[in-house]
Amino acid sequence: MVVGDFPIETDTIVIGAGPGGYVAAIRAAQLGQKVTIVEKGNLGGVCLNVGCIPSKALINAGHRYEEAKSSEHMGIKAENVTVDFTKVQEWKESIVKKLTSGVEGLLKGNKVEIVKGEAYFVDANTIRVMDENSAQTYKFKNAIIATGSRPIELPTFKFSDRVIDSTGALNLKEVPKKMVIIGGGVIGVELGTAYANFGTKVVIVEGADEIIPGFEKQMSALVKRNLKKKGVEVHTKAMAKGVEETKDGVKVTFEVKGEEQVVEADYVLVTVGRRPNTDELGLEQVGIEMTERGLIKIDKQCRTSVPNIYAIGDIVEGPALAHKASYEGKIAAEAISGHPSEIDYTAIPAVVFSEPELASVGYTEKQAKDDGIEVIAAKFPFAANGRALSLNATDGFMKLVTRKEDGLVIGAQIAGPNASDMIAELGLAIEAGMTAEDIALTIHAHPTLGEITMEAAEVAIGTPVHIIK
């Protein structure tokens, strides 16, 4: 029974405290709004709790173990290297706890009211927040919906103890002897690499022609080659058919080139995409327009068809990336405050923490040509860089895409160590309207991987020093 549910008034209410929601709430508060944020789970959302952060911790731990076992070529030999996976999980969780408590501190420090519970729209200025024991009504001037997404469940692969999603894969109690992964996209490849480094026999089943289909083939081919070196079986153009759970594992059936195969494993991880969390918010109560895929339609300021309600992150069009959600959160908060901020995805980076790492920003060579832009695609290999050689990580290249008429940097792709960090300089170059010559004239410290950016720019302007033209 709800007693005395008097509406609480606030300027802006944010639904969801993931990397989109909590950033939006903080920016709105900084701009003078009275802000309330509603979260049904843990602060930080999927990204901090069961996504970006814990997966990178697991990937790093896997790297450490693999390196400890295989550094003899450097004269470093370790015997009886073991994994205490319970300790690995405890370490991973300690990182998550630090970050989520940090988010709570940031929200409170910016005087954002934090409310636990599920939000449901009553009308365009009212929501009800419910938890197990009570319900409370909130009246607001503006709302930002940032409810994120969840893994897609296949009808033939219903989630269970042995049929797991990415959350399940991040929280296993032991290193599996064998794992089948349905879906060779970013999540499948990242987690597959991590477990392969821990010694798991991994089988990846991908329906597309290549793994990581969002990246250029010459980039994904490097990752595929490295996976195979680790003993990972990669099946592309393959169709997952079904799973049978056994006493202590699974039997997974899939089809490749017309042939049916059955693989036994401890677990099957299903990573075939994510579904927007827009179905239990009462959006129909306020008449918010949706796409056929269940995404919320927004304008350039993240405003929905209802003028005082905004939407950001995985629930709107575009890639499901944490940094995209954070960026949109700032735009929405600023738009509510009357700023002329608008979304511009020109320089939004995409990254895969594979081996080697992949990163891309702006145009690819093909996309530029498809749009009728004449470009120069300048490549520089990691193998010609002193720092890469000293790291024993020479796989890969940087490709700089510049406009032929004036050398303007319009895109870049990197496959190699630290690609995830190196791509930021290229994003800045695109945002700042820099040319290849601007980058080539920028002094880069030696010896660093960052020099590769300068070297690729020199290739673009026709004056390479460390490779023969």
Determine the number of helices (DSSP H) and then strands (DSSP E) in the chain.
13, 22
User: What pLDDT is recorded for position 247?
Assistant: 87
User: What pLDDT is recorded for position 320?
Assistant: 95
Spatial neighbors of 136 by CB under 8 A, at least 6 apart, are 5, 8, 115, 117, 128, 129, 130
Q: Which helix (H) or strand (E) holds 170?
A: helix 166-170
Question: Residue 335 above 90 pLDDT?
Answer: yes
Kindly report, residue by residue over 271-305, the tens digit of the pLDDT.
Answer: 999 999 999 999 999 999 999 989 999 999 999 99
446 catalytic? Reply is: yes
Question: Residue 250 above 90 pLDDT?
Answer: yes
Residue 289 and residue 181: Cα distance in Å, rounded?
Answer: 35
Q: Which two tokens stand for residue 420?
A: 């995830």
Kindly report, residue by residue over 378-435, the tens digit of the pLDDT.
Answer: 999 999 999 999 999 999 999 999 999 999 999 999 999 999 999 999 999 999 999 9
CB atoms near residue 424 (< 10 Å): 13
CB atoms near residue 230 (< 10 Å): 17
| pTM summary value | 0.95
The residue count of the chain comes to: 469
Dihedral sign for Cα atoms in the order 70, 73, 76, 78: positive
Spatial CA neighbour of 313 closest among 102, 27, 24: 24
Angle at 301 (CA atoms; ends 300, 304), nearest 5 degrees: 90
pLDDT level of residue 469 (50, 70, 90 thresholds) = confident
Question: Residue 3 above 70 pLDDT?
Answer: no
Q: Which domains does the chain have, with CATH numbers?
A: 8-151+275-336 (3.50.50.60), 163-272 (3.50.50.60), 356-460 (3.30.390.30)
CA distances 338 to 22, 32, 451, Å, are: 20, 12, 42
Question: Residue 1 above 90 pLDDT?
Answer: no
Backbone dihedral angles phi then psi of residue 236, each to the nearest 5 degrees: -100, 170
Query: Looking at residues 304-319, what average pLDDT do you find?
Result: 97
Tell me the three state secondary structure of residue 394.
Answer: coil
Kindly report, residue by residue over 114-156, the tens digit of the pLDDT.
Answer: 999 999 999 999 999 999 889 999 999 999 999 999 999 999 9
Q: What is the mean pLDDT of the chain?
A: 96
Spatial CA neighbour of 356 closest among 271, 447, 449: 449
Can you list the pairs that 395-398 forms with residues at least 24 positions away whose Cβ atoms lie under 8 Å?
A: 395/222, 395/226, 395/356, 396/222, 396/356, 398/422, 398/452, 398/453, 398/455, 398/456
Spatial CA neighbour of 21 closest among 35, 7, 34: 35
CA-only gyration radius of the chain, Å? 24
Question: Residue 4 above 90 pLDDT?
Answer: no
Any alpha helices (H) in 313-364, and if so which ranges? Answer: 322-336
Of the residues 73, 339, 444, 446, which is catalytic? 446
Evaluate whether 226 touches 355 at the Cβ level (below 8 Å).
Answer: yes
Spatial neighbors of 91 by CB under 8 A, at least 6 apart, are 57, 61
376 forms beta bridges with: 402
